[in-house]
Chain A
Amino acid sequence: MSPARALGLTGVLVAGIVSLTGCGGSTGTDSVAPPPADPDAAATGTLSVFAYQDSITDELLDPFREANPDLDLKTAGFGSNDEAAAKMAGGFRADVVEACLDEMSAFTDRGLLRPIDPAGIEDWDDLVFRDAEGVRDGSEVLVVPLSAGPQGLIYDADEIRPGEIDSFADLFDPAYAGRVALEADYALPAIAETALTLGIEDPMNLTPDQLDEVTQKLIDNREQFRSLWRSDADVVNLFRSGEIALADGGPGLTERIRDTGVDARWVAPEERPLSWVCGFAITSDAENTDAAYELIDWLASPEAQAIRADDGYVVTNPKAVPLADPAARKTADPKSIADAIPETEPPDYQEWVRAFREFQAQ
């Protein structure tokens, strides 16, 4: 190879790679995504879905794949909405993303979502939580609520007698010192639960003094906690290996723990459980909006919602309840969380994150 050719090749390589490095910014649109002209036509092309792993199980997606054989459905999982938003802002492309109502700003602040036309979702008018805080940005719908759940207490009935646990305050009871784990994949649950134990009635809107009080309580009781759990698999392992006997969590998680042979029980705390709602949104970079609508439409249908019900989640379409396994119907009924405290994004959430870091850094 001559020097000139080598230099030329080098130039091409540098230009190519640098241009690739420069890619990744959002080139999306914020106009309402148009629903498919023919909602009954099978979807084609490629559809990329970015969601929590338990929302993209084969059990849930296989019927959709069978109904749309010419569609190439690609899925990728994440651990938290902040992680998803950070990856998308960094150039990860998806057509549909799962977003939870208490973490919407992670997406909206970066302009990652495209408004949805509810007319494109057949069961929209049946969905509960469709008017919940976070679903809309102004008048525009950003996310279709598809699953929900309460956050209460999980205990091992082989170690703790049923009836002993009835309050978030039990997480701080010295009788269970060193046998408790606290959710730590994001700051909100631990801080809100601790606030409730302090008698604070609106745990989603803490004053700076209240947040300080909560932080101090967590720090003062650091030895109380055996570990901090950061994923479902993590807390399942903690129970199964006998490390803990008590943790915060929901009924779906309790079912997963029971599947490993632990006699785990779920209880709603007397302060009222917290509740979360998550759904699917169309991204501002979505290339296949027709398929995106069809997927969300399927997930909102009673049949798909019944599958979620059997997995221990609260459904958002009440028509799914009669279709669910009889054992799961009570938990799946949206009425079961009617009295719960909805998890909403605190206005000063960055301060919450910092407070939780302060607790962990002690």
Chain B
Amino acid sequence: MEAASIPVRRSSRAKRLVQPLAFLGTPTALLLAFFLAPMLVMLGVALDRGLLDGGTGFNLTLTNFTDVISDPLNRKVALTTFEIATAAMLVQLIVAVPLAYVIAFKAGRWQVPILLFLVLADELNPMVRIYAWRMLLGREGLINEGLMSIGIISQPIDALLFSQFAVTVVLSTSYLTYTVIPIYGAMKAIDGNVFEAARDLGAGWWTTTRRVLLPLIAPGIFISLLLVYVPLFTDFASPALVGGTSGYMLGNVVNDYVLEAGDLNRGAAMSIIMLVLSALFALVAYRLARINRLES
């Protein structure tokens, strides 16, 4: 009897193991095909010597990576990009946290309309949004004209447009929706009584924000950083259109490698390096935000 029951149990165990794998297989295959396969193709291009360097067929080399990393120009642009992206991210967090707080705890029945408005604002074509900013910040834009009409300035402020300031402003608003919504989600999970408890214990608004609110919304901030901070490094349309001669960023470098120099190999190498740095950043952010709170 015992000998006969063993194959049945084995068959049942195998079925239990294979069945979920089989049903997960289709989405996994799609993920592999549409995400991993292009990444592997890009890695292959980055590891190829390339036509520009006289290569024919596939010639394995790390030269593209070493060239990109050792180029002092790229390091300089990376620093500028870091400064602009970090400034834009900070501005967004400074705007997003109070905005998410108002939506989550104060907006009442306006909660959904405000969220809908944020989503709709994000649907606006990015080029239209950038050109709208040019109309606002330009020499003859609404801000300069307004300030001149009330006598605060006598000459237009040129630095409002075609400057790093303009790039920071445009980037800050371009991704605001993706910054607000995860933080809002984290706030909705907070029991409002904790704020009352903090007040009862004598905490002011700043202490409550610092010791209660921010730690509890840390996972939301982490998600925002992942969704927004990383893409900020690769943006090239905003610096190209409002940066003038001072908004050259890493996204523009990749763009120039591929579309101007025709150097797909170094462009791919640069993109892979940025991807790896993004992954490292995500790991650091994970540790800092202690996202395991979500699990608990």
Chain B binds chain A: yes
Asked if B262 and A13 sit within 8 Å, CB to CB, the answer is no
Q: Which one, B33-41, B82-90, B173-181, is touching chain A? A: B33-41
- Judged by a CB distance under 8 angstroms, whether B280 is at the interface is no
A13 lies within 8 A of B26 (CB) = yes
CB neighbours of A13 from chain B (8 A): 26, 29-30, 33
A18 in contact with B37 (CB, 8 Å): yes
Residue of B nearest to A78 (CB): B259
- For the side of the interface on B, what is the size category? 35 or more
How far, in angstroms, from A242 to B141 measured CA to CA in the complex?
10
B262 and A86 contacting across the interface, CB-CB below 8 Å: yes
Cα–Cα, bound, A4→B18 (Å): 9
Q: Is the CB of B23 within 8 A of A357?
A: no
Please provide the chain B residues from 46 to 95 with a CB less than 8 Å away from any CB of chain A in the complex: 51-52, 73, 76-77, 80
Residues of B within 8 A of A237 (CB): 131, 134
Assuming the contacts A10-B29, A357-B73, asked whether A241 and B23 have C-beta atoms less than 8 A apart, the reply is: no
- A14 interface residue, CB < 8 Å from B? yes
Q: Which residues of B contact A80 (CB under 8 A)?
A: 259-260
How far is the CB of B256 from the nearest CB of chain A, in Å? 6
Chain A nearest Cβ from B265, distance in angstroms: 11
Q: Residue B19 at the A interface, CB < 8 A?
A: yes
The CA of A359 and the CA of B77, in the complex, are separated in Å by 11
Q: Which residue of A lies closest to B32 (CB)?
A: A14
CA distance A85 to B34 in the complex (A): 24
The chain B residue with its CB closest to the CB of A223 is: B245
Q: Which residues of B contact A186 (CB under 8 A)?
A: 260
Give the residue name and chain of the A residue nearest to B158 (CB).
A178
Q: Does B244 contact A (CB under 8 A)?
A: yes
Contact for A243 among B32, B161, B263, CB less than 8 A: B161
Please determine whether A89 and B264 come into contact, CB atoms closer than 8 angstroms: yes
Instruction: Take A17-B34, A243-B161 as given contacts and tell me if A85 and B140 are in contact as well, using a CB distance cutoff of 8 Å.
Output: no
Query: Roughly how many angstroms separate A209 CA and B75 CA in the complex, as a whole number?
Result: 24
Q: Does A27 contact B (CB under 8 A)?
A: no
Q: A225-B244, A227-B162, A241-B140 are in contact. Are A21 and B33 (CB under 8 A)?
A: yes
A37 to chain B, nearest CB (A): 36
Specify which of B23, B29, B162, B262 is in contact with A226 (CB 8 Å cutoff): B162
Main secondary structure of the interface of A (DSSP, over half): helix
Pair A3/B15 contact, Cβ less than 8 Å? yes
Asked if B261 is at the interface (CB within 8 A of a chain A CB), the reply is yes
B139 within 8 A of A: yes
Tell me if A230 counts as interface (CB < 8 A to partner B). yes
Could you tell me the distance between the alpha carbons of A320 and B262 in the complex, rounded to whole angstroms? 35
The reply to whether B139 and A242 contact each other, CB–CB distance below 8 Å, is: yes
> How far apart sit A187 and B261, CA to CA, in the bound complex (Å)?
9
Task: Considering the complex, give the chain A residue whose CB is closest to the CB of B45.
Answer: A90
Tell me the complex Cα distance, A18–B138, Å. 48
Query: Known contacts being A243-B139, A353-B261, is A18 close to B25, with CB within 8 Å?
Result: no
Contact assessment for A83 and B77 in the assembled complex, using a CB-CB cutoff below 8 Å: no
Task: Report how far A253 CA is from B76 CA in the complex, Å.
Answer: 35
Across the interface, do B52 and A350 meet the contact criterion of CB distance under 8 Å? Answer: yes
B280 CB to nearest chain A CB (Å):
24
Residues of chain A within 8 A of B38, CB atoms compared: 21
- By a CB distance below 8 angstroms, the chain A residues around B161 are 243
What residues on A are CB-neighbors of B34 within 8 Å? 17
Question: B37, A6: Cβ atoms under 8 Å?
Answer: no
Residue B230 is within 8 A (CB to CB) of chain A in the complex: no
CB distance from A235 to the nearest CB of B (A): 12
The CA-CA distance from A222 to B245 in the complex, in Å, is: 7
In the complex, what residues of B have CB within 8 A of residue A234's CB?
Answer: 241
How does the 8 Å CB contact mask read for B136-149 relative to A, with 1 for contact and 0 for none? 00111100000000
Within 8 A of B (CB), among A302-327: none
Is the CB of B258 closer than 8 A to any CB of chain A? yes
Q: How distant is the Cα of A10 from the Cα of B27 in the complex, in angstroms? A: 9
| Interface: A82 (CB within 8 A) | yes
Q: A223 CA to B248 CA in the complex, in Å? A: 15
Contacts of A361 in B (CB 8 A): 73, 76-77, 80, 248
Which residue of A is nearest B19, CB measured?
A3
Cβ < 8 Å to A, chain B residues 116-161: 131, 134-135, 138-141, 158, 161
Contact of B252 among A14, A83, A243, A360 (CB under 8 A): A360
CB distance from B30 to the nearest CB of A (A): 7
Which among B22, B139, B140, B253 is the interface contact of A357 at CB below 8 angstroms?
Answer: B253
Does B240 count as interface, using CB distance less than 8 angstroms? yes
Please, how many angstroms separate the alpha-carbon atoms of A85 and B260 in the complex? 10
Contact status of A18 and B77, CB under 8 A, knowing A82-B259, A178-B158: no
With contact pairs A110-B51, A354-B73 given, residues A3 and B260 touching in the complex (Cβ less than 8 Å): no
Q: Is A67 an interface residue (CB 8 A)?
A: no
Q: In the complex where A85-B262, A186-B260, A360-B252 touch, is A241 in contact with B135 (Cβ < 8 A)?
A: yes
The 8 A CB mask of A1-27 against B (1 = contact, 0 = none) is 101101101100110011001000000
A353 to B258, CA, bound (A): 11
Contacts of A21 in B (CB 8 A): 33, 37-38, 41
By a CB distance below 8 angstroms, the chain A residues around B51 are 109-110
Q: Is there an interface contact between A18 and B33, defined as CB atoms closer than 8 Å?
A: yes
User: What per-residue 1/0 map shows which CB atoms of B221-256 lie under 8 Å from chain A?
Assistant: 000000000000000000011001110100011001
Assuming A106-B262, A242-B139, what are 18 further A-B pairs, CB within 8 angstroms? Answer: A3-B23, A21-B41, A82-B262, A86-B258, A86-B259, A227-B244, A241-B138, A242-B138, A243-B139, A243-B162, A350-B261, A353-B256, A354-B261, A357-B73, A357-B256, A361-B77, A361-B248, A362-B245
B-side residues, CB < 8 A to A, are 15, 18-19, 22-23, 25-26, 28-30, 32-34, 37-38, 41, 51-52, 73, 76-77, 80, 131, 134-135, 138-141, 158, 161-162, 240-241, 244-246, 248, 252-253, 256, 258-264
The 3 closest A-B pairs by CB, nearest first: A17-B33, A10-B25, A3-B22
Show 18 A/B contacts (Cβ-Cβ < 8 Å), sorted by A.
A3-B15, A3-B23, A6-B23, A13-B26, A13-B29, A14-B32, A82-B260, A82-B261, A85-B262, A109-B52, A110-B51, A178-B158, A226-B158, A228-B245, A234-B241, A242-B138, A242-B139, A243-B161
